[in-house]
Amino acid sequence: MDTTAIRKLVGRHFVVGFDGLEVNDSIREMIQTYYVGSIILFSRNIESPKQVFQLIQELQQLAEEAGYVHPILISVDQENGVIRRLVNGMSLLPGAMSLGSTQNPLYAEESYRASAEELSKLGITWNLAPVADVNNNPDNPVIGVRSFGDNPKIAANFVANAVEGIQREIAATLKHFPGHGDTTVDSHLSLPIIEHDLTHLRQNEFIPFKSGIKVGAASIMLAHVYFPKIEAERLPASLSNKVVNILRKELDYQGVIVTDCLEMNAIAETIGTENAGVKALENGIDIAMISHTFEKQASTIKRAIKKATEDSAFLTILKESDKRVLAFYQKYGRWTNQETFDSDNFLAMVNNHEKLAREIYQKSEMFSQMPSITWKKDESLLVITFENTIFSKVEDPNHLAVPLEKVISEYSDNFRIYTVSNEDTVETTIKKIGDISSSYDHLLMTTYNIRSDKDKQALIYQALHEKISEIALIALRNPYDAKWVSDLFAYITPFEFTEEAVRVAVAGLYKGVESK
């Protein structure tokens, strides 16, 4: 093969990201010089549906001018719920655990199909969803409500329906194989280790992945998790040939295998991003992901080009993998540079999907403990909430706003919201709100992932509970907060803080009250 052919071959096996709302020199070079096969978008690239559509048009135009025989695949993490990259102008559909709580897997198909329809209209052709991990560790810092639940068989039904919903429009991705659900470490920060053997994994973690494979999942993402009972060499699953062989031979998966981002600390601070990119391709992974830094992207691709030029065995592996990659791109790629964007039709579709979101939230099991109460509009309400923060680096700092004031104003004419900042101590908070809390008719507290009975949120709840017995508690993230507080009066777990989720949660306290 000549130099250009090798360059194009290698480029197809990488997915990269870039900064900004417009095409910049870095991504232009990735397309024109390195022929990357896929681009991943983050919120840093996203302003509005029309802007995203136009950005993707420009990227596809560059690819066509560079002589690509297939369109670039445009990917995004649109899991919905807590993890979503597109927010403004898009429907805010339920996340996995919210869907799982409905006990109706068909909702997963409808919801993920709705999301995929919106993505497809913008030119996005590859969704890095659904999460197929079993959340069998409540203290997991990175999966949590991103999972359909802690029961492998139930999760499997939702995973299969989610894949079918997405792939009516675009490519889906099962993640994070062999399973990221039983970790206590976020792989964005360091390398998690799971001691489970294959027998345990077959009986638990593999079950949802097998379900997704059965319905034809286009791709599978490997986890940056080390399984010493599987891999003697200290390699995370995302770089392991043994893990690839389990997928190919035991689970009979013949689709595309992709790494999680190789700039995450689990990789960057161990084997290193550049080494990992080459190692992944050498060990049979089809596509390596480098989401952020141009210098690391260019350096890694150059190393892979050099190895493909000098190492015939590596070139043979790439050529075999390329059959899967090309089939993947040809099936799901779409030239969008000549398409037009209809804002009115898109808005109508989004509005229709918002109705679906509300229906699903109403069917979810968010009302874990709900006494027979009906708060009234003119009754006074004190709302105590906490400053929302990032619990894992997979989350988006631009999407932490909670529409609490907007929603409560629809039901109450007499309320006050007190936000406890991260700097406030338990003592200063109680001093500020302890005396006034008893003068309100009702007290509502919202929490985010209470970790222990010593957590500031739990301590403030218990201190207030000594004065006021009837405190309504809404857990706006993981549903496990209740185990760290005692004598609950009302407990609502909407699993996430999207507007519709919060609206349905608050409406449960104001039964019979029409929202404004």
Structural domain spans, the chain: 3-344, 366-509
Question: CA–CA separation, 133 vs 113, rounded Å?
Answer: 20
| pLDDT number for residue 511 | 80
Which of 260, 286, 396, 455 is labelled catalytic?
Answer: 260
Q: Tokens for 389, please give them.
A: 């923060």
What are 383's strand-pairing partners? 417, 444
| CA dihedral for 488, 490, 493, 496, sign (positive or negative) | negative
Question: CA–CA separation, 444 vs 55, rounded Å?
Answer: 43
Measure the N-to-C terminal CA separation of the chain; round to a whole number of Å: 67
Q: Is 180 a catalytic residue?
A: no
245-303 per-position pLDDT tens digit: 999 999 999 999 999 999 998 899 899 999 999 999 999 999 999 999 999 999 999 99
Question: CA–CA separation, 39 vs 276, rounded Å?
Answer: 19
| pLDDT number for residue 394 | 77
| pLDDT number for residue 390 | 66
| pLDDT number for residue 234 | 86
Q: Is 188 a catalytic residue?
A: yes
Q: Tokens for 126, please give them.
A: 């590859």
Q: What is the mean pLDDT of each run of 10 residues along the chain (516 residues)?
A: 92 98 98 98 96 97 96 97 93 97 97 98 98 90 91 97 98 96 78 92 97 98 95 91 97 97 92 96 98 97 97 97 97 92 96 96 92 91 89 72 92 94 89 85 94 93 90 94 92 94 95 65
| pLDDT number for residue 296 | 97
Which of 188, 292, 353, 442 is labelled catalytic?
Answer: 188
The DSSP 8-state label assigned to residue 193 in this structure reads B
Question: CA–CA separation, 485 vs 409, rounded Å?
Answer: 28
Closest C-alpha among 407, 417, 472 to residue 444: 472
Residues 6 or more apart in contact with residue 414 via CB below 8 angstroms: 377, 378, 379, 380, 381
Around 289, how many Cα atoms within 13 Å sit in the side-chain half-sphere?
24
Question: CA–CA separation, 300 vs 302, rounded Å?
Answer: 5
- Structural contact between residues 15 and 287, judged by C-beta atoms closer than 8 angstroms: yes
| pLDDT number for residue 21 | 97
| pLDDT number for residue 516 | 58
Around 155, how many Cα atoms within 13 Å sit in the side-chain half-sphere?
29
Closest C-alpha among 147, 177, 152 to residue 162: 147
Amino acid at 117: E
| pLDDT number for residue 514 | 66
The DSSP code sequence of 212-256 is HHHTT-SEEEEPS-B-TTT-SSS--GGG-HHHHHIIIIIS---SE
- Rg for the chain, CA atoms, rounded: 24
Q: Tokens for 238, please give them.
A: 């995302």
- Structural contact between residues 170 and 116, judged by C-beta atoms closer than 8 angstroms: yes
- Structural contact between residues 257 and 283, judged by C-beta atoms closer than 8 angstroms: no
Which of these CATH numbers, 3.40.50.720, 3.40.50.1700, 3.40.50.2300, 2.40.50.100, describes 366-509? 3.40.50.1700
470-489 per-position pLDDT tens digit: 999 999 999 999 999 988 99
| pLDDT number for residue 512 | 61
Fold for 3-344, please state it: TIM Barrel (3.20.20)
45-66 per-position pLDDT tens digit: 999 999 999 999 999 999 999 9
Query: Do 3-344 and 366-509 have matching folds?
Result: no
Helix 294-310 vs helix 3-11: crossing angle, to nearest 10: 130
| pLDDT number for residue 400 | 75
Question: What pTM does this model have?
Answer: 0.94
Q: From the DSSP assignment, how many helices (H) and strands (E) are in the chain?
A: 18, 16
